[in-house]
Amino acid sequence: MPSKNYQSGWIMRRSIYYLGIFSGIVLLGILALMSGEVIFRYLFNKPILGTVEISSYLLVIFCFTGIAFTQSQQGHINIELVTQRLPASIQRTLKIITLILSLAVFAVITWQMAIAFWRSWEMQEVRWGALPLPVWPVKFVIAFGSFTLCLQLLLNIIDEIRNNVTLTGRNG
């Protein structure tokens, strides 16, 4: 029977995977909205009301629901100009340190955005424009997406430490 740690890790990885799929669907929604805007504006002289506001909200949703999935696929930019010349053990240690620092930064972002979300929810903050929209859903998505990235970074840290211990055990 698999351990609870393995099961929880599997559940988190699967959830992050589905968030990545959701992010792709949101991107398709942005594409459809912008294409519809162009078609309606130039063919029918009837622009879609609130396209800028809705697409900006969708862009935030796209970015922050996909950020953890991108991390799980090691899809973020990684510059190795200096570190590639270092010994493998130092590279692994630096990778763990970088993951820990990233986790710390995104933990603070999660915490601050959760506070911002709650304040926005309490005051029912609205972004005014062609289409007035509440701000709290976007702040929630930023906090939630940052939280899922923290979970993914934690999984990456655990994986790297396990790999480091396994490789050290083999070499020792």
Residue 106 burial (CB count, 10 A) = 23
Q: pTM of this prediction?
A: 0.83
pLDDT tens for each residue of 81-103 = 788 888 988 889 999 999 999 99
Q: What is the pLDDT of residues 14-60, one digit of tens each?
A: 999 999 999 999 999 999 999 999 999 999 989 888 888 899 999 99
